[in-house]
Amino acid sequence: MSVGNQLLKSLYISKSKASRKIPALPAKISPLFTHFEKWAGKPRKLFIKDPDLLKSFNLKLDTNPFAQLLSSPSRLDRIGKVKLPKLLSIQVDSDIKSVIPSIKFNDNLEHRDKTRTSHSYILNKLSVLEKNLKNSRSVLPLHVLANLNNENKNLNLNFNSKELLDEYVSETEQHIIDGLSKIKSIQTNSFKETSSHIIVKYDNSDNEALRLDTNTTYYNYTLTFNLAKIQNIQLEHIFNKGYELLYLHEKRDMAIILQIYRLLMLLA
């Protein structure tokens, strides 16, 4: 065997004994972090005190309702002129081309963007809206206003901000009542103990509408909603005047969790 063949053989042997290196895959970035910069309006990052937290703690972003809030597409708030995730805003449905023009604040999260072709968004904060909802032009989409101005049309629309807000709050409360009533009818003790870290109560003696307790369960935290701030007799009845609790599941009850959070945010 020539020197060249011996050298080639030795290379084959050493190559076969070498361990194969698997290239490291890039870490998957959560939409909670990528989408945050989109709606923040300028480059801005979420601050994490311990970078290793993401490696050791599962944030369960696919089933986390609050991650869904932050990662929802950004929309311009017509009142404050800032961009916010649309699930943190109130969608305004407008139909000005019908015989009777109308405006409605959409309280149904599951049917957003499907009922009208013209939408705008306003801040989900009652105290701000009561001061700033002056007329229909303050909530209509900008492209609709531009068309009206170009055509020199006057909008014959009966706009009553108090009635719109009262209707929105009332319908949102009814969605919550219906949802919690169904949950109460199927609640079991085993579900309470093992499957939930989101609790809903109606306690007039507690001034906190939302409380986060850490290191109390398998999930490392427990979130408690107190609906007493809403002051609704039907809700109080569901909780047996404060003597009962309801336990929600993140994935199954995500819609009702978002409705509760949005209503408490509106009234805060």
Question: Is 2 domain-assigned?
Answer: no
Question: Is 73 domain-assigned?
Answer: yes
- The string of pLDDT tens digits covering residues 106-134 is 887 765 555 445 688 998 999 989 888 88
Question: Is 10 domain-assigned?
Answer: no
Amino acid, res. 157:
L
Q: Are 92 and 165 in contact (CB under 8 A)?
A: no
Question: Does residue 150 sit in the same domain as residue 185?
Answer: no
Which pTM value belongs to this model? Answer: 0.72
Question: Is 193 domain-assigned?
Answer: yes
- The string of pLDDT tens digits covering residues 90-107 is 998 887 777 677 788 888
Question: Does residue 67 sit in the same domain as residue 184?
Answer: no
Question: Does residue 143 sit in the same domain as residue 242?
Answer: no
Amino acid, res. 98:
S
Q: Are 72 and 260 in contact (CB under 8 A)?
A: no
Q: CA distances (Å), 176 to each of 7, 191, 216, in order? A: 78, 20, 27
Question: Does residue 37 sit in the same domain as residue 86?
Answer: yes
Q: What's the confidence (pLDDT) of residue 177?
A: 95
Question: Does residue 176 sit in the same domain as residue 261?
Answer: yes
Question: Does residue 115 sit in the same domain as residue 187?
Answer: no
- Which among 104, 128, 159 is the end of a domain? 159
Question: Does residue 171 sit in the same domain as residue 243?
Answer: yes
Question: Is 9 domain-assigned?
Answer: no
Q: Are 211 and 25 in contact (CB under 8 A)?
A: no
The residue segments making up the domain with residue 113 are 29-159
Q: Please tell me what DSSP assigns to residue 252.
A: T
Q: What's the confidence (pLDDT) of residue 107?
A: 80
Q: What's the confidence (pLDDT) of residue 115?
A: 45
Question: Does residue 135 sit in the same domain as residue 171?
Answer: no
Question: Is 24 domain-assigned?
Answer: no
Domain count, the chain: 2
Question: Is 235 domain-assigned?
Answer: yes
> Please, which residues have CB within 8 angstroms of residue 99's CB and are 6 or more apart in sequence?
none
Q: What's the confidence (pLDDT) of residue 141?
A: 80
Q: What's the confidence (pLDDT) of residue 101?
A: 74
Question: Does residue 143 sit in the same domain as residue 177?
Answer: no
Residue 132 half-sphere exposure toward CB, CA atoms < 13 A: 15
| Distance between CA atoms of residues 169 and 191, nearest Å | 30
Question: Is 12 domain-assigned?
Answer: no
- Which among 114, 142, 159 is the end of a domain? 159
Q: Which residues in the chain come in under a pLDDT of 50?
A: 15-17, 39-40, 115-116, 190
Question: Does residue 170 sit in the same domain as residue 147?
Answer: no
- Which among 119, 137, 159 is the end of a domain? 159
